[in-house]
Structure 1
């Protein structure tokens, strides 16, 4: 390239940046502030990228959820302590995986399911669930949905009604399928597994060549992802939020901004200002970010901002919960396009949880009625008035975890109490009250033993789930019972 051409490119780059800075002078900030804001902006997308690597590229024998592209990893039995998932729900069986639309549309087919709750929810890289379908939303009949990538100009087959044609904003997506488990019996699990086997994810070209129908996952080969793997990602992708360093986060963020499957939002002034700020520290589309080329002062500034972002998210998670009689509800009322703190909090606390309480909501509990940390050294009760049960259209579930959010093995293999157990008569109700006994040792009283929710020996916590919640369960006005220590 000649000197004149080089100078012109430099001039264009510089004047373009100056023009942007003049149009939005608020983008001129210190590196520490840019780095902190970048953490809030990019945490969700960074975890999306890390999870996509786990699902589609990490083919290690120890990685059970490796599925490849356009396939779901299915949980085919109730989750127990041997399944290493943080804050799992034993009242649903899951399927999850990453869709790839680079070669064109993808078709998702779901069978008729009339005997239980089910949903299919598809999330974009920003954590926004743009597709939420299933029994509570559009019925129980068999359906097929087609996702169209940006810029698709082909013909959509006549098989699809317009309600089931989805224009997708990127060429990648994360999907999750949930099916309710009522009793957990072998026959019920077999029924759910049969439904799972009938859910298909098929590229349109293959769908057409198969006679306009999906191809069973068992009949499709695993197609691995081929996305850029930045240095260190295999080491920090699992437990990413707590493991990743500032260097790794910002290196990954630059990879993301250069990934054609993850375009930025259209017409977002807020994001365009963020992108301009990132370019000021060498991160952006068309740029090659090299941490080692930064000065020691630049590294220190970015590490300071990264740490501040991490701490602000953790602080907000605890301080910004909606108080529901001691239980904490995460504020997830949508708007992730611009509510970056809300987006980051959900990504940190429960990545791929809903951005809006449309399908389900939840509430955390870490302390007893006296504000003391929950401990298996004590005995507790959780008492529901039968005239004031959690108001839901579907079901509720209250699983118990150790202090780190994992199920702990117990002698009756019970990790939750839920409305299905109540409906089936498995729980004892006396004088209009449902009393759950939360303790480590099995109660000696037979009725109490039926209502026993085994607690870990040491610290523990709850994350309740409400499927089809009414407003009081999302705005905190429901009188959720406290966990009371038996003295």
Structure 2
């Protein structure tokens, strides 16, 4: 039971921390007592049990790490709860009241800072289902042969529904219910999915070519994407003109500087955690983990010194363990050419390390069958990618990413957002119909700050910032078996002299 509290991927960090920690004399001499209200659960302390500050810090450090993705998603729910109607947060990102949805009608605004690692391959939508209030109906229009997928994840960021081209999903109405719902499914519902938590995030993604013609062609299907409470279901497809959405200003505190808007605050993390854990019932094997941290939180309620220790530990964990995970090179499976990947996106299970790493660096990834992600911070020689240099990435003839959907290579700045550039190009791939192959049939992408003078190179130019670190991400949507098996991996980034 105790061993499961030190999960493998972060055990060494916790052990090193425990070895270096010296509790104060006051904490050692006057342990905090756990109130009776905290006892009675499997794994919780008996009422009146005294605990030391050192122990509380250890529990806090562990809990802050594994619960970070849930608190992040929970605070997105609280933000959506305040939205008066479907609209655009900061004029850029779709937001809606709980159990409703909003859609963009074009690629995401490059200035958005609400979700790290956006892409300009798809048209996004977003909605948060509060399943403790009501099940929701999700509308799927007829997308024809166009690539599409609705990502539906629980509070943990694990997928709870299969809706997309790769699943052969038919147009129609689909019901999403919470873990405790036992109501009647009405006629006309094509399928039922059940979330493991009361909160779920629904993110439609619909592919769009980078042409005015395709932008016009996609609008009809976008207008029939929707989500609403079960009581609103009447068997008819509701439509919207999403181009009429209002823009809502972001609150002053929402800005994260150059990085993602802050959603996890160490100062209030342990005040928020009980509600988060109530929303997300423990998975198999997690009951003791839940009970332990709730007992420590209960002990801190009437002990200001212990409460301050939890806050201090949260701040330290954020800085020492969470912040480094923004860098792709600090997690994942190492591949040739200094690329890396993860193979359990949106189905993390007990892999708390990768779940939190992905939540920090590029939250809300799709399942591998929907999209495989490849990450690159370093060039072929192992040096950090830097805007002061020039690079090439060359796909051999016949070795473009093998996909049934589409692929893209996106450049992000050091904060994992788009780097401004004079031609407004942030990725290259399937949507760029103007890409030009080399005479031998290979395809070279030119990554540099200065515009190439050669017309062929310019057609394949992925602009980089003039200085500073940057990263690359290759997305393979609806990947073929060669991607899934690892037989295909991306080519390296070669620094030019």
- TM-score interval, normalised by the smaller of the two chains: 0.7 to 0.9
Where do 1:257-406 residues align within 5 Å? Answer: 257-258=277-278, 262-265=279-282, 268-269=284-285, 271-283=286-298, 290=301, 293-296=302-305, 299-300=308-309, 302-304=311-313, 307-308=316-317, 311-315=320-324, 318-325=329-336, 326-332=338-344, 336-354=348-366, 356-406=367-417
- Runs of 5+ consecutive residues of structure 1 not aligned to the other structure: 1-9, 223-232
Q: How many residues align?
A: 443
Whether 1:46 and 2:76 are equivalent positions in the alignment is no
**1:170-228 deviation per Cα after TM superposition (whole angstroms, max 9, x unaligned):** 3331101011112x2223112222211111212222213xxx22433569xx9xxxxxx
Query: For structure 1, which segment, 447-456 or 315-324, has the greater mean C-alpha deviation from structure 2 after superposition?
Result: 315-324
Query: For structure 1, which segment, 128-137 or 274-283, has the greater mean C-alpha deviation from structure 2 after superposition?
Result: 274-283
Change (3 A) 1:110 1:456: same
Aligned 8 A contact 1:320 1:331 in 2? no
Whether 1:159 and 2:188 are equivalent positions in the alignment is yes
Q: Distance in 1 between matches of 2:229 and 2:424?
A: 40
Match of 1:462 in 2: 472
Whether 1:213 and 2:236 are equivalent positions in the alignment is yes
Match of 1:90 in 2: 120
Match of 2:197 in 1: 170
Where do 1:86-165 residues align within 5 Å? Answer: 86-139=116-169, 141-161=170-190, 164-165=191-192
The secondary structure found in structure 2 opposite 1:93 is strand
CA deviation after TM superposition for structure 1 residue 383, in Å: 0.8
CA deviation after TM superposition for structure 1 residue 35, in Å: 0.5
Change (3 A) 1:254 1:15: closer
For residue 40 of structure 2, the aligned residue among 16, 23, 41 is: 16
For residue 276 of structure 2, the aligned residue among 253, 256, 268 is: 256
Q: Distance in 1 between matches of 2:321 and 2:434?
A: 45
Aligned 8 A contact 2:126 2:201 in 1? yes
CA deviation after TM superposition for structure 1 residue 418, in Å: 0.3
Q: Distance in 1 between matches of 2:80 and 2:159?
A: 19
Where do 1:66-77 residues align within 5 Å? Answer: 66-77=95-106
CA deviation after TM superposition for structure 1 residue 334, in Å: 5.9
- Runs of 5+ consecutive residues of structure 2 not aligned to the other structure: 1-33, 246-250
So what's the TM-score if we normalise by structure 2? 0.79
So what's the TM-score if we normalise by structure 1? 0.81
Aligned 8 A contact 1:41 1:344 in 2? yes
Quote the RMSD (CA, aligned, Å).
Answer: 3.3
**1:369-401 deviation per Cα after TM superposition (whole angstroms, max 9, x unaligned):** 222222222222111102222222211100112
Q: Distance in 1 between matches of 2:489 and 2:273?
A: 42
Query: For structure 1, which segment, 371-380 or 242-251, has the greater mean C-alpha deviation from structure 2 after superposition?
Result: 242-251
